[in-house]
Amino acid sequence: MSGVAAGDKYVVGVDYGTLSGRALVVRVRDGAELGTAVHEYRNAVISSALPDGGTPLPPDWALQDPEDYREVLRQAVPAAVAAAGIDPSDVVGIGIDFTACTVLPTLADGTPLCELPELRQRPHAWVKLWKHHAAQPHADRINALAHERAEPWIGRYGGKISAEWQFAKGLQILEEDPEVYHRAERFIEAADWIVWQLCGVETRNVCTAGYKGIHQDGSYPSVDYLTALNPDFGDFVAKLDGPLMPLAGRAGGLTTSAAAWTGLPEGIAVAVGNVDAHVTAAAAQALDPGRLVAIMGTSTCHVVNGTHPAEVAGMCGVVDGGISSGAWGYEAGQSGVGDIFGWFVKHAAPAGLDSHERLTELAAAQPVGAHGLIALDWWNGNRSLLVNHDLSGLIVGLTLATRPEDVYRALLEATAYGTRMIIEAFVEAGVPVDDLVVAGGLTSNKLLMQIYADVTNRPLGIIGSAQGPALGSAIHAAVAAGAHPSIHAASQAMGRVAAAVYQPDPDRVRAYDALYAEYRALHDHFGRGANDVMLRLRAIRNAAVESTTSPQEVFA
Ligand SMILES: Nc1ncnc2c1ncn2[C@@H]1O[C@H](COP(=O)(O)OP(=O)(O)O)[C@@H](O)[C@H]1O
Ligand SMILES: O=C(CO)[C@@H](O)[C@@H](O)COP(=O)(O)O
C-alpha cells in the first residue's frame, strides 16, 4: 500500500481507553499513520454486577476485566498491521498507554486475582477502573492524616489525593475485603501490567508511580504513615514497589507468547508503560514548558511541562519526568466532560434532538449568555481543583423557555469554565500556560473548541492526529527501540500539531468573563463548604441504596 517503502521501519502504539483498545502502526521516519484497528472490551465497564450474572456492585463502582486488555493485543495489533500492509518483521518496537489510575491486584507472577477461580466473584479482586469512585471516604482519611502529620508529599498533589488514585483504592480493598488484600502480592497499574504481559518483566513507570502512587523524591509514603491509617496497611508500598523506569525507556523485549498474540517479531523493544494523557504531549509536539495539552474525551486531562516544582492548589500532581525526562510534568483533570454531554444526549434530550451534532448546530446559533444558564460540570465528581467525587452536577437559570440546546450549550460552557479554573490555578502558582493544544475525540466539535478559546482567552491548537495517545505510544516505542535519540527528537520527527487554529474573540471573551465570575461563585459556594448540599444528598443516596437488600429492590 502507499507509504510502504523498502528500508522503512515501523512501530506500534496501543492506546487502552475506557471502552476499547486501539492499535496504530506508525512509520518511524516521519510518524505517518499507516494502519489502525480497534477492539471493544467485551466486559466494557463493570458497574452494576460482576460478569456472568454475579455479585451486585454498590454505587460508584467501576471495574474491568484484564482479559479484555490481552484481547486487544490478540485482535487489534494484528489487524492494524494487516491494515497497514507492512511486513511485520519491519516492526522494531511496541509502546502502550493506558487510562490511569486503573489498577489491579495480582500474584507475584502477574496473575490477576480475579482470574483465580476462588476469587472470581469477589469484586475487590477485579481491576479497578480510573473512574471507580467508591474510595472517597478512604481518600478523605488519607488527606486528613497527611495534613495532620504534615507529610512532605501532600503539597505536590495540590493538597489532596484523589479517590481515583492507588492509595485510596488499596485502602478500600484492605478494609472491605482483607483476604483479597492479603492475597495480592503485587498491586499494579494496568499500564505496567500489560507491559509485563508483553515483555515478561515487571516494571513501574515514573509517570503513574509519581501521579497516582505518591512516589516523590525517591520514596513512597512511609510505613509509619500507612500504619497510622490502618495498622495492616504498612505493607502496601511493598506491593507497589518495582523497578522504576523513565518514560520512553525499554522495559524489555517482546516475549515468545506475546509475539504469538500480536504477530510481531520476538525480542523487539517494549517501551515502558505510559498514561493516555501524558503520552499525548509528545504526539502534539507539546513538550516545551507553557504549552498545555488538554486531552478531551469522556474526561479531560490537562498536562503541561514546567521548569521547576510548584505547589498548585487542587491539581493532580507534579512529577519529575512525569511527561518527559528533564522537565517537571504537571497534571490536572476533569473527571467528566464528553460523558456529561453524552448523558444529556442519551437521558435528557427528546427524540429528534438526541444527537451531539443537532444540539451543537442549534446551540451554535445563540449569542453568548442568551440561554441564561450556568452549570457546574460535576456530573462525575470534581477531580481538579476540588478533588471530591461526591460533588455532583447543577444547572441554574432554568425557565419554561429553556430548550434542550440551551442546556447542552450550558454544559459545554461549564466544562470550559472548569478548565479555566485549572489554568488560573497553574498561572497563580507560577506555572505558565501560554497556549492550549487539544487532542481527543472532542476536537471534532468546533463550537466546543471555539468556546474553550473564548473562555480561556488563549489560542487553541489542535493535534494533527485523530489517534493522539496511540501516536504518542508509537513515538515512545521508537525511542525505546533506539530509532530516535530522545523523546524530543522523536516528537519533532513523528508528532503533529496545527497551532492556534481557534483564536479568542475579544467580544465573546468579555461576555464569558462575566459568566465565568458567576461560575466561580457557584463553584466556591457548592464546592468549598458554604453549602454542602451535594455531599448530604450523596450520603442520603448511599444510605438509601445500602439499606435495600437487592439491586432489584432499588429499581422496584
Ligand atoms: N460531537 C460531539 N460533541 C460533544 N461530545 C461528543 C461528541 N461526540 C461524542 N461526544 C462525547 O465524547 C466522548 C467520547 O470521546 P472519545 O475521545 O471518543 O472517547 P475516550 O475519552 O474514551 O477516548 C463521549 O463521552 C461522547 O459523549
Ligand atoms: O486519569 C487519567 C489520566 O491521569 C485518564 O486516564 C482518565 O481520565 C481516562 O481518560 P479518558 O477519558 O478515557 O481519555
Cα distances (angstroms) measured from residue 66 to each of 10, 151, 187, 205: 27, 34, 14, 19
Enter the DSSP assignment of 63. E
- Written as one letter, the residue type at 308 is H
Q: Is the pLDDT of residue 163 over 60?
A: yes
Q: Is 356 in the pocket of ligand 1 (CB under 6 A)?
A: yes
Which residue is closest in CA terms to ligand 2's atom 3? Answer: 100
- Counting residues of the chain whose pLDDT is more than 90, the rounded percentage is 95
Q: What is the pLDDT of residue 20?
A: 97
100 Cβ inside 6 Å of ligand 2: yes
Beta carbon of 364 within 6 Å of any ligand 1 atom = no
Q: 442 CB under 6 A from ligand 1? A: yes
Average pLDDT over residues 23-41: 98
Which of the ligands is closest to the CA of residue 212? 2
**Cβ of residue 518 lying under 6 Å from some atom of ligand 1:** no
What spacing in Å lies between the alpha carbon of 137 and ligand 1's midpoint?
Answer: 30
Looking at the predicted complex, does its ipTM rise above 0.90?
A: yes
Return the pLDDT at 107.
98
The whole-number average pLDDT for the span 387-410 is 97
Question: From the CB of 197, is ligand 2 less than 6 Å away?
Answer: no
Q: Going by CA atoms, what residue is nearest to atom 27 of ligand 1?
A: 342
What whole-number distance in Å separates Cα of residue 267 and Cα of residue 278?
26
Write out the three cell numbers for 538.
450523596
Share of the chain above pLDDT 70, in %: 98
- Whose alpha carbon is nearest atom 10 of ligand 1? 338
Distances (CA, A) of 372 to 340, 368, 396: 19, 9, 8
Position 189 confidence tier, pLDDT thresholds 50, 70, 90? very high
Tell whether the model's pLDDT for residue 553 goes beyond 80: no
Ligand 1 pocket member 341 (CB < 6 A):
yes
Q: Whose CA is nearest to atom 15 of ligand 1?
A: 297
Q: In this predicted structure, what is the pLDDT of residue 135?
A: 97
Find out whether 320 and 156 touch, Cβ atoms under 8 Å.
Answer: no
What is the predicted pLDDT for the residue at 3? Answer: 60
Determine whether the shortest distance from the Cβ of 18 to ligand 2 is under 6 A: yes
Q: Over 90: is that where the pLDDT of 539 sits?
A: yes
Ligand 1 centroid distance, CA of 444 (Å)? 9
DSSP 220: P
The residue that leads in pLDDT, 553 or 168, is 168
Q: Quickly count: other Cβ atoms within 10 Å of residue 262's Cβ.
A: 26
C-alpha distance from residue 548 to each of 48, 430, 541, 544, 553 (Å): 15, 50, 11, 7, 6
Q: Which atom of ligand 1 is nearest to the CA of 339?
A: 25
Q: Using alpha carbons, select from 277, 271, 413 the residue that is nearest to residue 340.
A: 413
Q: What stretch of H or E contains 93?
A: strand 91-98
Q: Whose CA is nearest to atom 21 of ligand 1?
A: 297
Answer yes or no: is the C-beta of 102 below 6 A from any ligand 2 atom: no
From the CB of residue 370, how many other CB atoms can be counted at a distance below 10 Å? 12
Q: Is 336 in the pocket of ligand 1 (CB under 6 A)?
A: no
Average pLDDT, integer, range 363-369 = 98
Are the C-beta atoms of residues 274 and 345 closer than 8 Å to each other?
A: no
Tell which residue, 90, 161, 91, 103, has the closest CA to residue 132: 103
Atom of ligand 1 nearest to the CA of 19: 22
* Distance, CA of 244 to CA of 169 (rounded, Å): 21
Average pLDDT of span 469-483: 98
pLDDT at 428 over 90: yes
Please tell me the distance between residue 240's alpha carbon and the centre of ligand 1 in angstroms. Answer: 33
pTM of structure: 0.93
The CA-based angle 49-50-52, given to 5 degrees, is 110
Output the furthest CA–CA distance in the chain (Å, rounded): 67
277 Cα–ligand 2 center, Å: 7
The bound ligand whose nearest atom lies closest to the alpha carbon of 129 is: 2
CA of 396 to the centre of ligand 2 (A): 28
How many angstroms separate the CA atoms of 85 and 4, rounded?
A: 8
* DSSP letter (8 states) at residue 315: -
**Beta carbon of 338 within 6 Å of any ligand 1 atom:** yes
Q: Which of 132, 112, 109, 116 is nearest to 67 (CA)?
A: 112
Ligand 1 pocket: which of 361, 407, 442, 443 to mutate (most atoms within 8 A of CB):
442
pLDDT band for position 555 (cuts 50, 70, 90): very low
pLDDT reported for residue 1: 41
pLDDT of 7 reads 84
Q: In which element (H, E) is residue 534 found?
A: helix 533-546
Whether 400 shows a pLDDT value over 70: the answer reads yes
Mean pLDDT of the chain: 96
CB of 298 within 6 A of ligand 1: the answer is yes
35 near 83, Cβ under 8 Å? yes
Residue 1 Cα to ligand 2 middle (Å): 34
Task: For residue 394, give the H/E element and its range.
Answer: strand 394-396
pLDDT at 550 over 60: no
Residue 54: the pLDDT is 82
- Which residue among 19, 276, 296, 298 is best mutated to probe the pocket of ligand 1, counting the most ligand atoms within 8 A of its Cβ? 298
- Asked if the model's pLDDT at residue 453 lies above 60, the reply is yes
Contact 315, 408 (CB under 8 A): no
pLDDT of residue 554: 39
Mean pLDDT on 147-167 = 95
245 C-alpha vs ligand 2 centroid, how far in Å? 21
Label residue 536 by pLDDT band (50, 70, 90): very high
Q: Do residues 471 and 494 make contact, with C-beta atoms less than 8 angstroms apart?
A: yes
If we measure between CA atoms, which residue out of 277, 385, 397 comes closest to residue 18? 277
List alpha helices for 354-501, DSSP H.
356-364, 404-428, 446-456, 468-480, 487-494
Please tell me the least confidently modeled range out of 28-42, 50-64, 257-271, 503-517.
Answer: 50-64
Q: What is the pLDDT of residue 402?
A: 98
- Reduced to 3 states (helix: H, G, I; strand: E, B; else coil), residue 441 is helix
Q: Indicate whether residue 335 lines ligand 1 (CB < 6 A).
A: no
Q: 466 in ligand 1 pocket by Cβ < 6 Å?
A: no
Let me know how long the chain is. 556
3-state secondary structure of 485: coil
Ligand nearest to the CA of 164: 2
- Vertex 24: Cα angle to 324 and 248 (nearest 5): 20
